[in-house]
Structure 1
């Protein structure tokens, strides 16, 4: 799932940077640089994971090298066990991706299509909210801003991107949206895309727990 997200956002970022290059100037150089850096990091990770389908040993070496910097003070047995778990997960990822490439190409294509539709629907929500608030939509600007936010939030700096998403949204949309409705727009956007999902997950979890607790009739 994350790999598909990375592919869609990476390709989308490259497309918008080439086709809508002049629009980037409106969001400021600081956010543009942040978007470029995030795009480079995500694209590099996607290329690495795709390449690891053929060369899983390369991914193992990189992960071992990175994790080794954080496990220097661990006991040797714990380090060895951790290294084995890394190898096992990389092998599982390699096998899964190989199966997708060889036997599940149709599913992979449909996955990319629906992932693209998913992100497109997320990106136009703000414009629909603006219409509901009696304001003109900003489809092109919103696509750029949402792409910047999505790329930055792909890097897990905070749980769910809390705080970062709201700050970036306010800073970027403040360039295009009337300040009198910016606050309510942030609340509506974040509630629909994040907190409402948490509520649905909580309700679904409680229903499942209750069903399992009751047992079979």
Structure 2
């Protein structure tokens, strides 16, 4: 339990300090006036919108489980996905959410392979959706900047994201060639990372091979046994992100800002792509600074810091609060989280 508390405090501390820096550098004479004119009803609506994403996520998990022959109640699915938000918020690069959800689904008497198929399937659907829209989002943001200096950078980024998308799809259908490419990079990078012995390298290769096979087999399960659930999963994935992206727009309306909703959505896709890389717990710190940089394109400087803090309050602090309540008071499954962090 002390280990969990430590990681929670670390992630909260990084986020709070980053938020303070953002507010400090964006504070001006109009900030106090903007604070007095905040419309609370819009902030309450933002809370409800983010809560709705839990509902949609729970429905998606339940439908995928049912498609694979396992009827998990909606309440239990809701508990599993919200509990996963805590682990994601306190682990580096948000990597803890998936293992915890697999563990909790397995606890519902779902075979480990199928539980993995559900969770990995969700991540793949999210990844394809985000990567597919990323080039369009970059194009939209580039139009806002109207700066020729950034044109080449954005075009290069678009091409890179498109390549990543096609490589992801190729890896799903052709695991053999994908393994060869991964093995090549493992052999090149292992000595640099200190894994110079044959035994250490063999363990890495075995882990890579296992994970790639697990990944491909899990997706195959969904494509063959659970096609109907996969179709619903695609629709719920689209609904999830559209609802989630609308939250920032509602926050800005509460701050008397009325930007183009297309730009608001596009900016969040860019931020999400950036947040895949960070190794900080729950992307704390990086999220605040990335959000400030991207949102500054369409948010007035006087309310920029407030907007970023409110956005993180719902996407991060709310996840910690709700996920912590479900994990500790309902599921009481802190032992797995503690073992994962050790």
TM norm structure 2? 0.54
Residues 148 and 33 of structure 1, relative CA distance in 2, 3 Å threshold: farther
1:56 is aligned to 2:179: no
Equivalence for 2:249: 127
Using the TM superposition, give the Cα deviation of residue 135 of structure 1 relative to its aligned residue in structure 2, in angstroms.
3.1
Using the TM superposition, give the Cα deviation of residue 183 of structure 1 relative to its aligned residue in structure 2, in angstroms.
1.4
Aligned pairs, number:
209
Equivalence for 1:103: 225
Contact 1:27 1:175 in 2 (8 A): yes
Q: Which moved more, 1:50-59 or 1:25-34?
A: 25-34
CA distance in 1, matches of 2:232, 2:275: 24
Using the TM superposition, give the Cα deviation of residue 89 of structure 1 relative to its aligned residue in structure 2, in angstroms.
1.6
Using the TM superposition, give the Cα deviation of residue 193 of structure 1 relative to its aligned residue in structure 2, in angstroms.
0.7
Residues 81 and 23 of structure 1, relative CA distance in 2, 3 Å threshold: closer
Higher relative contact order (CA 8 A, sep 6+): 2
* CA deviation string 1:156-183 (max 9, x = no partner): 4544332232223222322322222221
Contact 2:274 2:290 in 1 (8 A): no
Using the TM superposition, give the Cα deviation of residue 118 of structure 1 relative to its aligned residue in structure 2, in angstroms.
1.4
Please, what is the CA RMSD of the aligned residues?
2.8
CA distance in 1, matches of 2:334, 2:126: 33
CA distance in 1, matches of 2:228, 2:313: 34
Where 1:74 maps in the other structure, the secondary structure is: coil
Equivalence for 1:145: 267
* CA deviation string 1:6-38 (max 9, x = no partner): 211122234456xxx566321365777666555
Where 2:229 maps in the other structure, the secondary structure is: helix
Q: Which moved more, 1:196-205 or 1:46-55?
A: 46-55
Equivalence for 1:209: 332
Contact 2:141 2:267 in 1 (8 A): no
Using the TM superposition, give the Cα deviation of residue 51 of structure 1 relative to its aligned residue in structure 2, in angstroms.
2.0
Contact 2:245 2:268 in 1 (8 A): yes
Structure 2 residue runs of 5 or longer lacking an equivalent are 1-121, 336-342
* CA deviation string 1:34-64 (max 9, x = no partner): 6655554454344333323332111211221
TM norm structure 1? 0.81
Contact 1:153 1:165 in 2 (8 A): yes
In the alignment, which of 118, 123, 127 is matched to residue 6 of structure 1?
127
Contact 1:7 1:43 in 2 (8 A): no
Q: Which moved more, 1:52-61 or 1:203-212?
A: 203-212
Structure 1 residue runs of 5 or longer lacking an equivalent are 213-217
Contact 1:35 1:148 in 2 (8 A): no
* CA deviation string 1:104-147 (max 9, x = no partner): 22222222211111111221111101222333353122012112
CA distance in 2, matches of 1:94, 1:88: 10
1:66 is aligned to 2:198: no
CA distance in 1, matches of 2:230, 2:160: 23
Equivalence for 1:215: none
